[in-house]
């Protein structure tokens, strides 16, 4: 196994705010890893430390075999970075934006690279269109084309599908998996559960701490959650009541149903027993990734 990323004990503070706390990540080449967490969890800051845009206050490790502290300039050359916001030039066309990035990377075969990127991302019919005239989904395709134009070994994507429609999201993820099959390592930050499940591995980050790591199945199993679902009679309205019960670590509405979870089976079943009456119908279900996500967030909120 060849590790594209191998970092330990990363910390970053801004003033009194400790944004990233002792984060450790190892990622194999050609894998897609999702940084999953709520807004403000430290996902973007971690990505920027990995690619050399930020220097950790403490910690060590390598990215693409290069030291993240002393060789950050070389890491940047081998990395493609797509920020959350649209960072290209609105008054340039698709073609002009990509040609500009080609010149910035000093690519000798710039025209051929641009043509290949336009073809790959389905931008052929829009290559003469101004960037500001593109819809959100097409802007994200253009941003991805720019990020991979120099054929990086590592691709960092910060909330890449925020604000785009489901069809555009699906097409975007098809491209990400295609790049990984070609050997590119991809790190994606998101707070969408369905996107996390598309990745080979998940890293849960809450309040700057790495709380869980592994495949979606491994993350769910490691949480040790027991989950019950209540249906009927607008069971979702019971969330407030269950939030007060011993043994209930998480109570959240899902449509007209309610999910209640806890790590103490006996205490959780005692809480559920109080509401085992018509019109409510209860059944034990496997905990979902979202159940685990909410559980970890709430557990972090009550830690001293």
Q: Is the pLDDT of residue 248 over 50?
A: yes
Strand partners of residue 87: none
In a domain? residue 103: yes
As a residue count, the chain comes to 304
Average confidence score pLDDT of the chain: 92
For 26-63, the pLDDT digits (tens) are 999 999 999 988 888 898 899 889 888 899 999 999 99
Range of the structural domain that residue 201 is part of: 3-219
pLDDT band per the 50, 70, 90 thresholds, residue 228: very high
| Same domain assignment for residues 272 and 251 | yes
| Same domain assignment for residues 174 and 281 | no
Strand partners of residue 67: 62
| Same domain assignment for residues 281 and 137 | no
Which of 178, 193, 219 lies at the terminal end of a domain, its last residue? 219
Q: What secondary structure, in 3-state letters, does the chain show?
A: CCEEEEEEEEEEEECCEEEEEEEEEEEECCCEEEEECCCCCCHHHHHHHHCCCCCCCEEEEEECCEECCCCHHHHHHCEEEECCCCCCCCCCEHHHHHHHHHHHCCCCCHHHHHHHHHHHCCCHHHCCCEHHHCCHHHHHHHHHHHHHCCCCCEEEEECCCCCCCHHHHHHHHHHHHHHHHCCCEEEEEECCHHHHCCCCEEEEEECCEEEEEECHHHHHHHCCCEEEEEECCCHHHHHHHHCCCCCCCEEEEECCEEEEEECCHHHHHHHHHCCCCCCCEEEEECCCHHHHHHHHHHHHHHCC
In a domain? residue 301: no
For 75-123, the pLDDT digits (tens) are 999 999 998 888 899 999 999 999 999 999 999 999 999 999 999 999 9
Most confident of 34-48, 135-149, 162-176, 287-301: 135-149
Q: What is the pLDDT of residue 129?
A: 97
For 176-217, the pLDDT digits (tens) are 999 999 999 999 998 788 889 999 999 999 889 999 999 999
> What's the whole-model pTM score?
0.89
Which of 189, 219, 249 lies at the terminal end of a domain, its last residue? 219
| Same domain assignment for residues 79 and 7 | yes
Q: What is the pLDDT of residue 297?
A: 79
Cα-flanking dihedrals φ and ψ of residue 151, to 5°? 55, 60
Q: What is the pLDDT of residue 138?
A: 93
Q: What is the pLDDT of residue 304?
A: 43
| Same domain assignment for residues 10 and 85 | yes
Strands 79-82 and 154-158: parallel
| Same domain assignment for residues 39 and 125 | yes
In a domain? residue 195: yes
Q: What is the mean pLDDT of residues 9-23?
A: 96
| Same domain assignment for residues 35 and 128 | yes
| Same domain assignment for residues 9 and 122 | yes
CATH number of the domain within which 255 lies: 3.30.70.860
In a domain? residue 237: yes
Burial (CB count within 10 angstroms: exposed 0-12, middle 13-18, buried 19+), residue 272: buried
CATH number of the domain within which 17 lies: 3.40.50.300
In a domain? residue 245: yes
Which of 183, 202, 219 lies at the terminal end of a domain, its last residue? 219
Q: For residues 196 and 80, what is the distance between their CA atoms, to the nearest angstrom?
A: 20
| Same domain assignment for residues 100 and 132 | yes
pLDDT band per the 50, 70, 90 thresholds, residue 302: low
For 153-178, the pLDDT digits (tens) are 999 998 898 878 888 888 899 999 99
Cβ-proximal residues to 22 (8 Å cutoff; 6+ apart), any chain: 9, 10, 11, 59, 209, 210
Q: For residues 184 and 148, what is the distance between their CA atoms, to the nearest angstrom?
A: 10
| Same domain assignment for residues 55 and 119 | yes
| Same domain assignment for residues 185 and 242 | no
Compute and round to an integer the Cα radius of gyration of the chain: 22
Q: What is the pLDDT of residue 301?
A: 62
In a domain? residue 70: yes
In a domain? residue 109: yes
Task: Mark 31-46 as b/e (b = at least 16 C-beta within 10 Å).
Answer: bbbbbbbeeebbbbbb
Q: What is the pLDDT of residue 296?
A: 82
In a domain? residue 166: yes
| Same domain assignment for residues 112 and 162 | yes
Q: What percent of the chain has pLDDT over 70?
A: 98
Domain tally, the chain = 2
């Amino acid at each position: 196994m060849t590790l594209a990323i191998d970092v330990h004990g990363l910390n970053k503070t801004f003033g009194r705010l400790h944004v990233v706390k002792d984060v450790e990540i190892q990622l194999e080449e050609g894998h897609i890893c999702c940084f999953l967490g709520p807004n403000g969890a430290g996902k973007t800051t971690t990505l920027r430390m990995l690619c050399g845009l930020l220097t950790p206050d403490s910690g060590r490790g390598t990215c693409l075999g290069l030291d993240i502290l002393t060789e950050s300039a070389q890491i940047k050359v081998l990395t493609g970075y797509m920020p959350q916001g649209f960072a290209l030039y609105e008054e340039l066309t698709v073609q002009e934006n990509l040609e500009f990035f080609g010149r910035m990377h000093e690519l000798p075969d710039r025209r051929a690279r641009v043509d290949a990127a336009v073809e790959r991302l389905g931008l052929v019919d829009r290559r003469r269109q101004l960037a500001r005239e593109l819809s959100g989904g097409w802007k994200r395709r253009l941003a991805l084309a720019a990020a991979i134009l120099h054929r990086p070994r590592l691709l960092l994507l910060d909330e890449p599908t925020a604000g785009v429609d489901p069809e555009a999201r699906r097409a975007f993820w098809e491209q990400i998996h295609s790049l990984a099959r070609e050997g590119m390592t991809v790190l994606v930050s998101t707070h969408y559960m369905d996107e996390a499940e598309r990745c080979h591995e998940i890293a849960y980050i809450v309040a700057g701490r790495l709380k869980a790591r592994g495949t979606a199945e491994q993350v769910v199993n490691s949480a040790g959650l027991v989950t019950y679902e209540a249906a009927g009679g607008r069971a979702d309205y019971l969330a407030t009541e269950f939030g007060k019960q011993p043994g209930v670590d998480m109570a959240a509405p899902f449509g007209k149903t309610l999910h209640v979870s806890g790590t103490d089976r006996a205490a959780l079943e005692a809480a559920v027993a109080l509401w085992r009456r018509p019109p409510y119908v209860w059944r034990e279900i496997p905990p979902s990734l979202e159940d685990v996500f909410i559980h970890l967030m709430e557990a972090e909120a009550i830690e001293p």
